[in-house]
Amino acid sequence: MTQATRTVRIGSAHGLHARPAKLFAQAAKEAGIPVTIAKAGAAPVNAASILGVISLGIDQGDEVALEASGEGAQDVVDALAELLLTDHDAE
């Protein structure tokens, strides 16, 4: 099984609050393969769970680890990383 990991620094000015977390969780769900997100020192959570993502309390500049396993895992991780690098609060 293909597995991909990537560490990303959060770009949104207010971190992963409701709107960016919803965009991220929705994209993770649509990927169709298991994806987790973890903040340093915290257990990984299901990236497709908006409540799980928000529960991590991720702020701007925090580093998170993404991990996906399955068909196209690298593409999924890259696409989700782009979402996390974007400042959704600047739009």
What amino acid occupies position 37? I
> Is position 14 annotated as part of the catalytic site?
no
The answer to whether the beta carbons of residues 24 and 16 sit under 8 Å apart is yes
Q: E strand or H helix at 21, and its extent?
A: helix 18-31
14 alpha-carbon distance from chain centroid: 15
Choosing from 6, 14, 17, 29, the catalytic residue is 17
- By annotation, the residues acting in catalysis are 17
